[in-house]
Structure 1
Amino acid sequence: MNSRGLLGMMMALLLLAGLHGTALAKDGKQGNKGAKISFRETEHDFGTIAEDDGAVSHTFTFKNEGKVPIVVQSVSTSCGCTASDWTKEPVLPGKEGKITARFNPLGRPHQFTKSLTVRSNGDPASVILFIRGNVTPHVKTPSEIYFYRIGAFGTKGSYHSMDKITDKGKHATELEVHNFSEKKELISLVDYPPYMSVKPETLKVRGGETGSFKIIIDGEKVPSYDYQSCKVTVKHGETSRALHYAFTLLPDFSHIKDKDKAAKAYFPHRNVDLGQRKKGKTIKYDFVVKNIGKAPLKILRAKTSCGCMLVDLDEKEIRPGGETTLHMVFNTEGYAGRTNKTIKLILNDPSQPMVTLGVTVVLE
């Protein structure tokens, strides 16, 4: 290579090196001008706090380690129980800003973990902060527990559910009563249905203490299946108030050892759409009920969802392999638009003792 060519090559290399150095310098200046956000901590554990003590708060501190001011644009929280506040003015390089998280434990017992997402013009553009802890629940006072008052006494409300019971045997529940006075008082249960008994009928309770009655329902004496509701009158002195007890009575299947040999219902159509019909007219439809089991199938009750419907069965007991027809008549007077009605059946089928048939119609 001659001297002229060698000189040209060296000049080209120097030019490339100069360009590369200029680019590095520019990149360095650009990086120095950026905002950099740095938090001392991104998590805080409140430990154990009491629900009754009210809201708690913690302040997260961040520093601007960049070369331009940081502006916190928004702080979003993971739920409405967490509030936040933050430094609104620009945070200058080398200075600090704050993000304050507040958590309200009311109605939120036990462990919690909540997050706050901080968005800014800094690097990184978003930071997620976490607060956590464990809330010990509010301890209810007697006034909160026994809020339904009968004179000096209180009970846990006026409505009491016994859920599902069977038509065999006796089923018991307790009724707690709290005496809010400072002396012994008498309280009695009177006027309850014949299938119910109470022990004792009259209870003596010391002041500030709680006593209990035993409520017993004899399933064999309940007059009909499905949902039942009855009233019990509670009396203290001259004050009398009603309590309501509700339950669903179903057949007892404890005597069936082999359910494969029991009755089993099959419905070709459980829910039917009758399309459009003229309102104010009577609609009829026949449901078929088949017994595909190995014992007689008994339809113990057929109950409609309104007085506008009537049902009639050809047979209430179906032999194995047999079937019957349930005739439905729906008086649509007073109804318009899309209308849904139901028929609830109580069966001696242990696999499905309660079956609901549905009818949908558009009345125009």
Structure 2
Amino acid sequence: MSKISKLAIFLAFFSLPILVFAQEKGKLEFIINDHDFGEIKEDGGPAIYEFEFENTGTAPLVISHVRASCGCTTPGWSKEPVLPGERGFVKAQYNPRNRPGNFRKSLTITTNGDPAVTHAYIRGKVLPKVKSLEEQMTLKIGNTRFMSRSVNIGKVTTEKKVVKSFDIYNDSPDTLSILEKYDAPAFIKLTFEPQILTPKQVGKVNIEYDPIHEDNLGYNNHGITIYTNEESAETKKINVLATVSEYFAPMSDEEMEKAPKLAITDRLQDLGKVNEGSKTVAEFVLTNHGLSVLNIRKVKSNCACFVAELPKENIKPGKSITLKGTFDAANRKGNQNKSITIYSNDPIDPVQVVSIKASIVAPN
């Protein structure tokens, strides 16, 4: 055997312990890596669980970092090296405050072991805190509480009147009397149940809303005023919101064929670059493809800077008119998106929208 071969065998033999030692690593294995807290209370304080693990590797295991999937989970872990065969822990703490509902969060654990990254999971359901009346009814006017400054009746049609109620709470040590008089538009009627509230009593204000009134289609915001016997805060001002659409009675196939049909060309128009302070006109062609007269009930812009001009309200079958929308770029900057909503007696598509977009540039 040559001297070179002997040297190679010698080096290979003595390097084996070094290679074996270099491959020795710790290994983190959780006893349980997924914990279910079950139901916990929102106001019950943090929920804590300690995941136990064993180092099943052949070298000391060191946890360098634990990262939670959200800030609501606070991790802790064994700081000292965990020897082979011994156990350590990773702690998870979940704060349920202001987090009602189901949750599932993860912990990402980085170590010097193999694999270098492992995961653990916590889950559960946070039961909402039962709020007091004072916490629920956040609007306080004098010693009278309401849920909100606004009462939203929601989407209604012109078919019939609707009734909506909201709570009123006497948050005082004295009796509260709700006076019979109130201020509201003629199409809003109010009644009170009861009119006299003892201390800490909840009553109801009933709103009867008639959606048939002038300029009713679309979004409506009506102010009402309730009067009480509180000397320092006699008046309580509340807003009533409603979105009204026209009601169309069921129609036969023959009636539907004869109905008006609104079609609009170029619903979205790009005005391109528009000088600040200038005015630009966008034209939209409205055509009646039906067999009856099309009546434009109302046009409403979403901005005072985009004014709609309609030459007439009625469109005969097969005829067209041009809706002009004038965009005023005064005091406007950057990209602009504006729209006009068109309400008509087309029973299939009574509410249609046309829009413009523009980019405001400084004039030369």
- Tell me the TM-score range normalised by the shorter chain: 0.7 to 0.9
User: Does 2:337 correspond to 1:340?
Assistant: yes
Give 1:276's aligned residue.
Answer: 273
CA distance in 1, matches of 2:175, 2:252: 51
CA distance in 1, matches of 2:359, 2:32: 62
Give 2:242's aligned residue.
Answer: 247
Unaligned ranges ≥5, structure 1:
1-14
The Cα of 1:187 is off from its aligned counterpart by: 2.0
CA distance in 1, matches of 2:193, 2:100: 39
Structure (1 or 2) with the larger CA radius of gyration: 1
Q: What one-letter code is carried by the residue in structure 1 that aligns with 2:336? A: T
Corresponding residue to 1:213 among 205, 208, 211: 205
Asked if structure 2 preserves the Cα contact closer than 8 Å seen for 1:301 and 1:345, the reply is yes
Unaligned ranges ≥5, structure 2:
1-5
Corresponding residue to 2:145 among 135, 151, 154: 154
Q: What one-letter code is carried by the residue in structure 2 that aligns with 1:299? A: I
For normalisation by structure 2, the TM-score amounts to 0.85
Asked if structure 2 preserves the Cα contact closer than 8 Å seen for 1:151 and 1:236, the reply is no
Asked if structure 2 preserves the Cα contact closer than 8 Å seen for 1:168 and 1:218, the reply is no
Q: What one-letter code is carried by the residue in structure 2 that aligns with 1:286? A: E
CA distance in 1, matches of 2:287, 2:135: 52
Q: What one-letter code is carried by the residue in structure 1 that aligns with 2:248? A: F
Judged with a 3 Å threshold, the aligned counterparts in structure 2 of structure 1 residues 294 and 90 are, in CA distance, closer, same or farther, namely farther
Count the aligned residue pairs.
Answer: 348
Judged with a 3 Å threshold, the aligned counterparts in structure 2 of structure 1 residues 256 and 125 are, in CA distance, closer, same or farther, namely same
Judged with a 3 Å threshold, the aligned counterparts in structure 2 of structure 1 residues 201 and 312 are, in CA distance, closer, same or farther, namely farther
Judged with a 3 Å threshold, the aligned counterparts in structure 2 of structure 1 residues 260 and 87 are, in CA distance, closer, same or farther, namely farther
Corresponding residue to 2:96 among 105, 108, 122: 105
Judged with a 3 Å threshold, the aligned counterparts in structure 2 of structure 1 residues 278 and 28 are, in CA distance, closer, same or farther, namely closer
Asked if structure 1 preserves the Cα contact closer than 8 Å seen for 2:25 and 2:61, the reply is no
Judged with a 3 Å threshold, the aligned counterparts in structure 2 of structure 1 residues 132 and 332 are, in CA distance, closer, same or farther, namely closer
Judged with a 3 Å threshold, the aligned counterparts in structure 2 of structure 1 residues 43 and 335 are, in CA distance, closer, same or farther, namely closer
Asked if structure 2 preserves the Cα contact closer than 8 Å seen for 1:150 and 1:236, the reply is no
Judged with a 3 Å threshold, the aligned counterparts in structure 2 of structure 1 residues 216 and 277 are, in CA distance, closer, same or farther, namely same
Give 1:6's aligned residue.
Answer: none
Judged with a 3 Å threshold, the aligned counterparts in structure 2 of structure 1 residues 74 and 251 are, in CA distance, closer, same or farther, namely same
The Cα of 1:202 is off from its aligned counterpart by: 7.2
Q: RMSD value over aligned CA atoms?
A: 3.0
Give 1:70's aligned residue.
Answer: 61
For normalisation by structure 1, the TM-score amounts to 0.85
User: Does 2:189 correspond to 1:197?
Assistant: yes
The Cα of 1:30 is off from its aligned counterpart by: 4.4
Deviations 1:203-233 (A, max 9, x none): 1223322211210111223443222111111
Q: Identity across aligned pairs (percent)?
A: 30
Q: What one-letter code is carried by the residue in structure 2 that aligns with 1:153? A: T
Judged with a 3 Å threshold, the aligned counterparts in structure 2 of structure 1 residues 47 and 286 are, in CA distance, closer, same or farther, namely closer
CA distance in 2, matches of 1:278, 1:51: 54
Judged with a 3 Å threshold, the aligned counterparts in structure 2 of structure 1 residues 186 and 98 are, in CA distance, closer, same or farther, namely same
User: Does 2:178 correspond to 1:187?
Assistant: yes
Corresponding residue to 1:54 among 38, 45, 58: 45
CA distance in 1, matches of 2:62, 2:336: 58
Judged with a 3 Å threshold, the aligned counterparts in structure 2 of structure 1 residues 93 and 255 are, in CA distance, closer, same or farther, namely closer
Deviations 1:18-76 (A, max 9, x none): 99x979x7699449832122322212221221111121111112232333221112222
Asked if structure 1 preserves the Cα contact closer than 8 Å seen for 2:306 and 2:339, the reply is no
Corresponding residue to 1:331 among 308, 328, 333: 328
Deviations 1:329-359 (A, max 9, x none): 3333333544333222122233333222112
2:75 is paired with a residue of what secondary structure?
strand
Give 2:126's aligned residue.
Answer: 135
User: Does 2:121 correspond to 1:124?
Assistant: no
CA distance in 2, matches of 1:92, 1:352: 74
